[in-house]
């Protein structure tokens, strides 16, 4: 069974993951408004991943004998300047989430909560990928600029992304 402090921290992270999904859905709508369906697709897949991350935390809390209490989710921004700004914000947000995961690991270690620590290692690894992917597309956008043929080529590439549910381990 997890401690009350860990239960609360995991509930806070569920909120963070659901906010992430909401943020990426908002970003997708911006891209839809520009007819950049590939960019919109990438963000929609990202939103589904974040929702799956929340569900993974929910399952864990329930399995560990805790209680999930869903919290209010803040409204995400809906106005953006460019694809570059969105991917800058995406990278910044993923770094924020990485920090929150690291705080959970620190808490699990301090409480000798080996089960939670083991579960969190999946998220630690996932965050390395999340940050690297956001940074990769940010760097590509910086190379091609926010307008023209380059952004259309990236749009095609991003349109090929599909959602793959995370493993249960």
pLDDT tens for the chain, 169 residues: list them: 899 999 999 999 999 999 999 999 999 999 999 999 999 999 999 999 999 999 999 999 999 999 999 999 999 999 999 999 999 999 999 999 999 999 999 999 999 999 999 999 999 999 999 999 999 999 999 999 888 888 999 999 898 888 888 875 5
Residue 124: alpha-carbon gap to chain centroid? 12
d(CA 50, CA 64): 21
Pick left, alpha or beta for residue 98 (phi over 0 → left; psi -120 to 50 → alpha; otherwise beta). Answer: alpha
Tell me, what CATH number does 124's domain have? Answer: 1.20.1260.10
Does pTM top 0.95 for this prediction?
no
**125 falls within a domain:** yes
**37 falls within a domain:** yes
Instruction: Count the Cβ atoms, other than its own, within 10 Å of residue 103.
Output: 13
Number of structural domains (the chain) is 1
Show the domain range for 125: 4-159
**72 falls within a domain:** yes
CA distances from 75 to 18, 78, 81, 87, 104 (A): 11, 9, 18, 19, 24
**165 falls within a domain:** no
Q: Are 101 and 125 in contact (CB under 8 A)?
A: no
**164 falls within a domain:** no
**129 falls within a domain:** yes
d(CA 154, CA 152): 5
pLDDT at 96: 98
**54 falls within a domain:** yes
**104 falls within a domain:** yes
């Amino acid at each position: 069974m997890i401690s009350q402090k860990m239960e609360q921290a995991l509930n806070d992270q569920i909120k963070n993951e659901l906010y992430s999904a909401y943020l990426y859905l908002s970003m997708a709508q911006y891209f839809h408004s520009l007819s950049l369906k590939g960019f919109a697709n990438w963000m929609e897949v990202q939103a589904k991943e974040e929702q799956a991350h929340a569900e993974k935390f929910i399952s864990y809390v329930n399995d560990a004998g805790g209680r999930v209490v869903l919290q209010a989710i803040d409204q995400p921004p809906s106005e953006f300047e460019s694809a570059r700004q969105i991917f800058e914000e995406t990278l910044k947000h993923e770094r924020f989430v990485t920090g929150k995961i690291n705080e959970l690991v620190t808490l699990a270690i301090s409480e000798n909560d080996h089960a939670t620590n083991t579960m969190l290692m999946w998220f630690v690894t996932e965050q390395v990928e999340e940050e690297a992917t956001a940074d990769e597309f940010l760097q590509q956008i910086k190379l091609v600029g926010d307008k023209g043929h380059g952004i259309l080529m990236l749009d095609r590439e991003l349109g090929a992304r599909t959602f793959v549910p995370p493993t249960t381990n």
